């Protein structure tokens, strides 16, 4: 049996590709041969990622914008339609989280911000991508959720609500889009070393608690999430849909 992970000829779109987990996902997909369209707000950072990919022999395109800005999303999807006329892989990775704080200190503005980016953004991207995904081959979507989309955690209730909704959205869309040959999966990372967790990782007491709570006794690297996304996005996962794959060093296993 030949096991291959060759994505040549595929077109992938990664949101939040400028840094952290999204950057690692874009690099992994490009390394596997996919042409990758990089989307997030900061053009300069995206261009650095694209240059790195091109230097390593991959192909990348940059479109800068915000997932919750309708005209930015229009520009992106017009570009995809014009340039490729199809989409094989959509990775909804862009996400925001304010620093950990008790629920009573969470404002309505925080709520709207997280709902708009983490949830409505995914809704809009799936809706706009649908006609293009139908023209793709082994087309699929990977949503970046979180372990707090599966279990509760203090000081993070609204973020957790957006990720919980994202995991059930993933399952329901998988059921519906199976008829169109489009797979829909999610990854649920635990604590990963990125900008999003940098402040938390500066607090020694919190770090000690977290390391005690994680069976593998370390945080994850963006690359470890990216490789899981790569599997789900590839033909190796051709019979996997509606699945939320946990990448957490064992957090949820006890
Ligand atoms: N790190 C963790 O421990 C962890 C755990 C579980 C789940 N996650 C999830 O993994 C995903 C990536 O997180 P990360 O840790 O890599 O975070 P990060 O380092 O803060 O990066 C977030 C990415 O999202 C982009 N972004 C933020 N708001 C955006 C918007 N409105 N429109 C377009 N792009 C936007 C950012 O780019 P610009 O600033 O250039 O726009 C950046 O590329 C998120 O969905 C997060 O919830 C992270």
Which regions of the chain does DSSP assign to beta strands (E)?
Answer: 11-15, 35-40, 59-64, 89-92, 140-144, 183-189, 244-247
Which pLDDT band holds residue 1 (cuts at 50, 70, 90)? Answer: low
Q: How many other CB atoms sit within 10 Å of the CB of residue 111?
A: 14
Q: Ligand 1 center to residue 10 CA distance, Å? A: 24
- Proportion of the chain above pLDDT 90, given as a percent: 96
Question: Nearest-CA neighbor of 54 among 66, 62, 44, 42?
Answer: 62
- Arithmetic mean of pLDDT, 23-49: 98
Which pLDDT score is estimated for 100? Answer: 85
Q: Which superfamily, per CATH, for 11-248?
A: NAD(P)-binding Rossmann-like Domain (3.40.50.720)
Tokens of 70: 């309708």
Most ligand 1 atoms within 8 A of CB, residue of 94, 149, 153 to mutate: 94
Is it the case that residue 104 has pLDDT exceeding 70? yes
Angle at which helices 70-83 and 121-133 cross, to 10°: 20
Measured in angstroms, how far is the CA atom of residue 17 from the centroid of ligand 1? Answer: 8
Residue-wise pLDDT for 153-192, tens only, equals 999 999 999 999 999 999 999 999 999 999 999 999 999 9
Q: How far apart are CA 86 and CA 66, in angstroms?
A: 21
Q: Per-residue confidence at 196, pLDDT binned at 50, 70, 90?
A: very high
Q: Where exactly are the structural domains of the chain?
A: 11-248
Bridge partners, residue 188, by sequence: 246
Question: 159-195: string of b/e by CB count within 10 Å (b at 16+)?
Answer: bbbbbbbbbebbbebbeebeeeebbbbbbbbbbbbbe
pLDDT at 246: 98
- If one residue of 196, 228, 245 were mutated to test the ligand 1 pocket, choosing by the most ligand atoms within 8 A of its CB, it would be 196
The predicted structure's pLDDT at residue 98: 77
**CA 144 / ligand 1 centre spacing (Å):** 9
Q: What is the mean pLDDT of the chain?
A: 97
How far is it, in rounded angstroms, from Cα 35 to Cα 214? Answer: 35
Catalytic annotation present for 159? yes
Residue 99: pLDDT band (50, 70, 90) is confident
Per-residue pLDDT at 63:
98
Q: In this structure, what token pair is assigned to residue 53?
A: 């990919």
């Amino acid at each position: 049996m030949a096991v291959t992970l060759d994505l040549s000829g595929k077109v992938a779109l990664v949101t939040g590709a400028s840094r952290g987990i999204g950057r690692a996902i874009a690099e992994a997909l490009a390394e596997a041969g996919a042409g990758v369209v990089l989307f997030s707000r900061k053009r300069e950072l995206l261009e650095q990622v694209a240059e790195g990919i091109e230097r390593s022999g991959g192909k990348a395109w940059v479109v800068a914008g915000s997932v919750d800005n309708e005209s930015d999303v229009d520009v992106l999807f017009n570009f995809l339609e014009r340039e490729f006329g199809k989409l094989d892989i959509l990775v909804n990775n862009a996400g925001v989280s304010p620093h950990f704080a008790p629920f009573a200190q969470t404002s309505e503005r925080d709520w709207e911000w997280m709902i708009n980016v983490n949830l409505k953004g995914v809704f809009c991207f799936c809706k706009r991508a649908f006609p293009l995904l139908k023209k793709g081959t082994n087309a699929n979507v990977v949503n970046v959720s979180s372990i707090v989309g599966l279990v509760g955690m203090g000081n993070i209730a609204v973020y957790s609500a957006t990720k919980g909704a994202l995991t059930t959205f993933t399952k329901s869309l998988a059921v519906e889009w199976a008829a169109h040959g489009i797979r829909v999966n999610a990854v649920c990372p635990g604590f990963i070393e990125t900008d999003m967790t940098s402040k938390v990782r500066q607090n020694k007491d919190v770090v000690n608690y977290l390391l005690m709570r994680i069976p593998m006794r370390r945080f994850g690297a963006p690359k470890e999430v990216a490789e899981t996304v790569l599997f789900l996005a590839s033909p190796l996962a051709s019979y996997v849909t509606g699945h939320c794959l946990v990448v957490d060093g064992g957090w949820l296993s006890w």
